[in-house]
């Protein structure tokens, strides 16, 4: 089947690509909503006109092109009309009273809760006025915060901070991620700055979240605890607040993280179990009624998981499959996927930019396409071995199709994903069955203890096996930070290579090789240019001052390179990738021995032709015998000396105040060196000084 035949059989595939492209274009181009609607109307009229004219073969492409642009404009218009205005940048200059609805179950941390708020009104001159925006709130723990539930209304008096650009020139752009998810601001609420205005719950999703919380409490009261409780509640109900970070990391390193996100696999297992039960209850009798019941039960399952976006996507997709069977029509799975994606993007265009949306559709598409072809590579007669091979093929298929996304979003790529999926795929099915049975028998105390014990034991065994795989040597490969364009090149290479292998078309091989070359050449060029790069970087790191001296392909850091602190390790990795450093060492202000082109002595340093002074909490007062001007002063942490204690005969061309310096100390140093060029990392982000 050629491309035209495939598109004719799957019309929603033809629609989804221009529609998604229109949403993407909206990121970079802003046009008023009324203009977008007018453009859609005009283009629709033009499309109908060209279609009715029955243009000749020579100009037949015009109708297709106009339809493509029309659908793309519809996507653009949907994104524009659904976009909410961001919080003004001056909103954090004053406090206001706001009324907001809690839209999710509060996530508990060590000292605070994190919660999403839909702000509905602001008090202006004593009167409430409509104010529509979504924000993320951090609320300090207290007795009132523990009473928070999804759907409640709270009133708070605080500043709403706008989302700022990332402070460092690399790494994940969390502010952009929040904006793409519809979040326009953030707040921090201390005790006494807020109160619950209305305890009644409103909104269907809020009811669903509170229903899920009751089911979570049933599991906890059934005797499940620790990571066993965390696995059961996460796996079946999508409640992620109770599983340890260590276990999450183990599942990630083992390539089984998808099990901890209730999504298509879980809904598919529930759907398969329901179909099996319906088959037992009377064969083909009342087949239409049974499929309607399955659809209703699938949506009931989506409800008890809190109507999370991933479950909604999967439920919509399986509902489409069931509806196709109801009308006795075998719908193409590709068309079903495209139709469900189109429906969801019509409701919420921002879903397109969510990693979970991209990964789930890429994984399902990859499994549908690659899994049968990989399975046919090896013919296995033994039933057990064939089952294991088919599961392995599913893992490889999903890994191939999600590779560009995994390299872009995640820091590591698992090596033994195929091994872990042989365990977790059937294990997830058993856990879902046991947990649902536990919920069903919860009114009977004696049965609850028995089923709870079995569920806990199975969860413990499953966690143990996954953690054992994660702890195997070379279980992960560190990813290099890549851009969107590089991820796109990897996707083009995979698609082109697939076309070459299946269709034996030389053009596919040529396109794959070109994409690989375009991916490799910039990296190689950057490595060559990095040989002559020299720079000083003071990064935004409020709790751990981090300074990098770049000497070609080698770097020197002032922070603890061998710390277990994840933030420090991520920062060092990002800085080394940013400057293409192949090796790195630690230096301290007390060092005497020169290393490469850098030498430190009692805080004074020389790097290439740059002279400077690093002041930290160990720097002692000193005197300078003669007037001199150094290139750079870096102040970090809580310096042991005050700004007024600095020798007056010592001056600097540039002064950098690190983000770890407290605000009241920053003012002293800014006042003392007001005539110098000052860079405040907390306000302006990382300080980057290229010396070449």
- Is the predicted pLDDT of residue 414 greater than 80, yes or no? yes
- CA distances to 176, 362, 682 from 166, rounded to whole Å, are 9, 28, 11
What was the pLDDT predicted at 89?
A: 46
> Is residue 651 a contact partner of residue 504, using CB atoms and an 8 Å limit?
no
Tokens read off for 539? 């990064």
Report pLDDT digits (tens) over 494-513.
Answer: 988 888 888 888 888 888 89
| Band of residue 243 on the pLDDT scale cut at 50, 70, 90 | confident
Domain-ending residue, one of 440, 462, 478: 478
Q: How far apart are CA 263 and CA 360, in angstroms?
A: 8
* DSSP notation for 445-498: HHHHHHHHHHHHHHHHHHHHHHHHHHTSTT-EEEPPP--HHHHHHHHHHHHHHH
Average pLDDT, the chain: 81
Interatomic CA distance for residues 418 and 273, integer angstroms: 24
Rounded CA Rg of the chain: 29
> What does the pLDDT look like over 647-684, one tens digit per residue?
888 889 999 999 989 888 898 898 888 888 999 998 88
Closest among 363, 214, 208, 364 to 301, alpha carbons compared: 208
Same domain, 19 and 157: no
Q: What is the pLDDT of residues 596-619, one digit of tens each?
A: 678 888 888 888 888 999 998 888
| Beta-bridge mates of residue 655 | 633, 678
On the question of pLDDT at 282 being above 70, the answer is no
Integer angstrom CA distances of residue 481 from 404, 412, 579: 12, 10, 12
What sign for the dihedral angle of Cα 398, 399, 404, 408?
positive
Nearest CA-CA partner of 323 in 303, 342, 298, 345: 298
Name the domain boundary from 82, 117, 142: 82
pLDDT, tens digit, 9 for 90 and up, residues 367-392: 888 888 888 888 888 888 887 888 78
The answer to whether residues 311 and 238 touch, using CB atoms and an 8 Å cutoff, is yes
688 and 654 Cβ atoms separated by less than 8 Å: no
Question: Do residues 387 and 413 make contact, with C-beta atoms less than 8 angstroms apart?
Answer: no
Instruction: Check whether residue 231 and residue 151 sit in a common domain.
Output: no
Residues 194 and 113 in one domain: yes
Mean pLDDT value across residues 564-578:
78
Identify the residue whose tokens are 């605080």: 158
Q: Work out the widest C-alpha separation in the chain, in whole angstroms.
A: 100
Q: Which residue pairs from 387-394 have beta carbons closer than 8 angstroms and sit at least 24 positions apart in sequence?
A: 388/422, 391/421, 391/422, 391/425, 391/426, 392/418, 392/421, 392/422, 394/367, 394/421, 394/425
**Which three-class secondary structure state does DSSP give residue 641?**
coil
Show Cβ contacts of residue 378 under 8 Å, excluding neighbours closer than 6 positions. Answer: 389
pLDDT tier at 535 (50, 70, 90 boundaries)? Answer: very high
Q: Please count the other Cβ atoms lying within 10 Å of the Cβ belonging to residue 201.
A: 16
Q: What does the angle CA 188 – CA 566 – CA 564 come to, to the nearest 5 degrees?
A: 130
Q: What is the DSSP letter of 35?
A: H
Percent of the chain at pLDDT exceeding 70 = 89
Query: Which carries the bigger pLDDT value, residue 321 or residue 415?
Result: 415
User: Could you say which DSSP state residue 93 is in?
Assistant: G
Least confident of 187-191, 511-515, 571-575, 590-594: 590-594
What pLDDT score was predicted for residue 90?
45
pLDDT at 271: 78
DSSP letters, 601-636, are ETTEEEETTEEEEEE-TTPPP---SS-EEEEEEEE-
- What interhelical angle do 309-326 and 287-304 show, nearest 10? 180
| Portion of the chain with pLDDT greater than 90, in percent | 6
What pLDDT shows up at residue 688? 93
- Determine the pLDDT at residue 428: 82
Angle at CA of residue 480, ends 474 and 481, nearest 5°: 145
Residues 323 and 422 in one domain: yes
Distance CA 599, CA 592 (A): 7
Q: Is the same domain home to 20 and 97?
A: no
Distance between CA atoms of residues 617 and 603, nearest Å:
11
Same domain for 613 and 596: yes
> Are residue 495 and residue 570 in the same domain, yes or no?
no
Instruction: Give how far the C-alpha of residue 62 lies from the chain's centroid of Cα atoms, to the nearest Å.
Output: 39
Domain boundary among 440, 463, 478: 478
pLDDT value, residue 568:
75
Statement to judge: residues 472 and 565 lie in one domain:
no
Give dist(CA 540, CA 547) in Å, integer: 9
For the residues 174-185, what does the mean pLDDT come to? 75
Mark whether 433 and 561 lie in a shared domain. Answer: no
Three-state SS at 19: helix
What residues are paired with 586 via a beta bridge? 557
Both tokens of residue 104?
């999710």
pLDDT score at 54: 60
DSSP 183-251: --EEEEE-TTSEEEEE-S--SHHHHHHHHHHHHHHHHHHTT--HHHHHHHHHHHH---TTS-HHHHHHH
Strands 583-586 and 598-601: unpaired
Tell me the C-alpha distance between 692 and 684, whole Å: 23
Q: Is 307 exposed, middle or buried (0-12, 13-18, 19+ CB in 10 A)?
A: buried
**372 and 495 both lie in a single domain:** no
Q: Spell out the alpha helix ranges (H) of 238-352.
A: 245-253, 264-280, 287-304, 309-326, 333-347
- Tokens describing residue 228: 């066993």
Residue 615: CB atoms within 10 A of its CB come to 21
**Using CA atoms, how far apart are residues 528 and 320, in angstroms rounded to an integer?**
53
Q: Is residue 87 very low, low, confident or very high in pLDDT (cuts 50, 70, 90)?
A: low
- The total number of structural domains in the chain stands at 5
Asked whether residue 523 falls in the same domain as residue 659, the answer is: no
Number of residues that this document lists for the chain: 692
Could you list the residue range(s) of the whole structural domain that residue 489 is in? 484-530
- Indicate if 47 and 95 belong to the same structural domain: no
């Amino acid at each position: 089947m050629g491309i035209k035949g495939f598109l004719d059989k799957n019309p929603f595939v033809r629609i989804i690509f221009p529609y998604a492209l229109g949403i993407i274009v909206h990121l970079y181009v802003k046009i008023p909503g009324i203009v977008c609607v007018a453009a859609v109307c005009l283009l629709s009229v033009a499309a109908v006109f060209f279609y009715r004219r029955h243009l000749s073969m020579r100009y037949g492409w015009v109708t297709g092109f106009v339809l493509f642009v029309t659908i793309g404009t519809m996507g653009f218009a949907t994104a524009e009309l659904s976009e909410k205005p961001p919080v003004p940048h001056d909103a954090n200059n004053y406090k206001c009273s706001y009324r907001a609805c809690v839209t999710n179950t509060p996530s508990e941390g060590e000292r605070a809760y994190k919660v999403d708020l839909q702000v509905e009104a602001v008090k202006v001159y004593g009167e409430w006025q409509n104010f529509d925006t979504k924000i993320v709130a951090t609320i300090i723990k207290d007795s009132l915060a523990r009473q928070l539930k999804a759907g409640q209304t709270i009133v708070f008096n605080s500043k709403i901070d706008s989302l700022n650009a990332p402070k460092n020139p690399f790494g994940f752009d969390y502010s952009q991620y929040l904006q793409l998810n519809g979040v326009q601001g953030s707040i921090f609420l201390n005790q006494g700055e807020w109160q619950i205005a209305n305890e009644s719950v409103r909104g269907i999703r809020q009811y669903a979240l509170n229903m899920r919380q009751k089911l979570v409490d049933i599991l906890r009261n059934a005797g499940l605890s620790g990571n066993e409780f965390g696995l059961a509640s996460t796996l079946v109900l999508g409640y992620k607040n109770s599983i340890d970070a260590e276990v999450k990391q183990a599942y990630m390193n083992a390539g089984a993280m998808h099990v901890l996100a209730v999504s298509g696999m879980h809904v598919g297992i529930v759907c398969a179990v329901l179909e099996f039960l319906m088959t037992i209850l009377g064969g083909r009798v009342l087949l239409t009624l049974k499929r309607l019941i399955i659809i209703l039960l699938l949506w009931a399952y989506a409800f008890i998981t809190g109507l999370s976006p991933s479950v909604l996507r999967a439920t919509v997709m399986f509902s489409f499959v069931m509806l196709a069977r109801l009308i006795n029509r075998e719908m193409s799975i590709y068309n079903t996927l495209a139709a469900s994606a189109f429906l969801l993007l019509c409701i919420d265009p921002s879903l397109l930019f969510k990693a979970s949306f991209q990964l789930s559709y890429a994984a399902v598409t990859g499994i549908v396409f690659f899994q049968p072809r990989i399975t046919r590579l090896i013919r296995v007669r033994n039933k057990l071995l064939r089952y294991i091979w088919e599961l392995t093929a599913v893992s490889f298929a999903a890994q191939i199709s999600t590779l560009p996304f995994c390299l872009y979003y995640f820091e590591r790529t698992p090596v033994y994903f195929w091994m872990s999926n042989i365990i977790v795929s059937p294990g997830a099915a058993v856990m879902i069955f046991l947990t649902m049975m536990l919920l069903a028998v919860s009114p009977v105390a004696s049965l609850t203890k028995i089923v709870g014990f079995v569920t806990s034991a199975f969860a413990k065994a499953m966690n143990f096996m996954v953690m054992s795989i994660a702890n195997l040597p070379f279980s992960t490969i560190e990813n290099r930070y890549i851009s969107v364009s590089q991820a796109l090149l990897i996707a083009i290479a995979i698609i082109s290579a697939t076309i070459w292998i299946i269709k034996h078309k030389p053009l596919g091989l040529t396109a794959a090789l070109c994409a690989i070359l375009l991916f490799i050449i910039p990296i190689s060029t950057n490595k060559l240019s990095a040989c002559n790069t020299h720079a000083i970087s003071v990064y935004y790191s409020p709790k751990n001052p981090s300074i990098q001296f770049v000497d070609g392909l080698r770097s020197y850091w002032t922070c603890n390179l061998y710390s277990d602190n994840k933030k420090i390790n991520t920062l060092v990795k990002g800085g080394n990738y940013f400057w293409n450093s192949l090796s790195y060492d630690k230096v301290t202000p007390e060092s005497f021995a020169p290393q490469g082109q850098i030498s430190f002595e009692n805080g004074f340093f020389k790097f290439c032709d740059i002279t400077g002074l690093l002041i930290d909490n160990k720097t002692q007062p000193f005197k300078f015998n003669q007037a001199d001007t150094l290139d750079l002063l870096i102040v970090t942490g809580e310096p042991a000396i005050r700004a007024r204690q600095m020798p007056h005969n010592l001056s600097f061309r540039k002064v950098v105040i690190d983000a770890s310096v407290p605000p009241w100390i920053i003012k002293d140093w800014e006042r003392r060196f007001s005539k110098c060029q000052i860079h405040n990392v907390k306000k302006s982000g990382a300080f980057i000084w290229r010396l070449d």
